[in-house]
Amino acid sequence: MEEISIEEFHKLDIRVGRVVECEKVEKSRNLLKIIVDLGEEKKQIISSISNYYTPEEMMGKQLIILNNLEPAKFMGLESQGMLLAVEDDNGVSLLKPDREMAPGTRVH
C-alpha cells in the first residue's frame, strides 16, 4: 500500500453514526439501504453486508462512517458514505466505538 501524509489523512471525514433505518434492497443479493444519523444530518449508505447482518441487527448500532466519500449509485440508489469494516475468512465485522459516543463525533 502507498503511504499517505498526515495532511492527506486529515482530508478524510470519519465520524460516528447511529443506524436509524435499515432495509434490504429489493432484487439485490446482498445490499442493505442504511440511514445513519450523524448528529446534524442523516445520510443514506448502501452496503453489501446483508450476508452478514440483518436489518434488525443493524438498528441502533453505532458505526464508523467515511462521511466525505464521493456519492455512488447502487441499483439506482445513491450511497452518500461508507461503513468501515474488516473482513477475514470468518466474514465481515463492522468497526464501532468501544463506548457510546454522540452521533457525528469525528474520528481523529
**Quick check: is 28 in a domain?**
yes
**Quick check: is 100 in a domain?**
no
**Residue found by looking up cell 449509485 in the block:** 73
Secondary-structure percent of the chain, ordered helix, strand, coil, rounded to 5:
10, 40, 50
**Quick check: is 77 in a domain?**
yes
**pTM as predicted:** 0.93
**Quick check: is 99 in a domain?**
no
Residue numbers of the domain that contains 27? 6-94
**CATH, residue 84:** 2.40.50.140
Burial class (CB in 10 A: 0-12, 13-18, 19+), 75: exposed
**Quick check: is 52 in a domain?**
yes
Task: Report residue 47's pLDDT band, with 50, 70 and 90 as the boundaries.
Answer: very high
- What size, in residues, is the chain? 108
**Quick check: is 34 in a domain?**
yes
Number of domains, the chain: 1
- Region 66-91: what's the mean pLDDT? 97
Residue 29: which region, alpha, beta or left (left: phi > 0; alpha: psi -120 to 50)?
Answer: alpha
